[in-house]
Amino acid sequence: MVSITLSVPPEMKQKMDEFPEMNWSGFVRGVIGKKTEELDWRKRMLQKAKEEESLSAWIVELVRNGRKGRYEELKKMGAI
């Protein structure tokens, strides 16, 4: 396992020392793990959205082309 050094203000260290039962290293490790999972999920979702962007554009164009002339068609039929 890799070690990192974390600096905290002296006042914070004093408060941390008031709770010797707390595993601060484990706590920080858990918080970092959770945040990296969240950021990784966000990165994957943005990538997926980017990959699907061309599909979305194609679908929008398909719908627009399908609607072309529909207004005039309905108008001729007396529906409008």
pLDDT digit string, tens, across residues 64-77: 888 887 878 888 88
Give me the number of domains the chain comprises: 1
Q: Is residue 9 part of a domain?
A: no
**DSSP secondary structure letter of residue 40:** H
To the nearest whole percent, how much of the chain has pLDDT over 90? 59
Placement of tokens 């706590």 in the chain: 27
Show the domain range for 38.
26-77
Q: Is residue 13 part of a domain?
A: no
Q: Is residue 70 part of a domain?
A: yes
The stretch 15-24 carries a mean pLDDT of 98
Report yes or no on whether pTM surpasses 0.75. Answer: no
Q: Is residue 16 part of a domain?
A: no
pLDDT band at 78 (very low <50, low <70, confident <90, very high): confident
Q: Is residue 50 part of a domain?
A: yes
Residues whose CB falls within 8 Å of the CB of residue 71, separated by 6 or more in sequence, listed in order = 80
Residue 5 neighbours by CB distance under 10 Å: 4
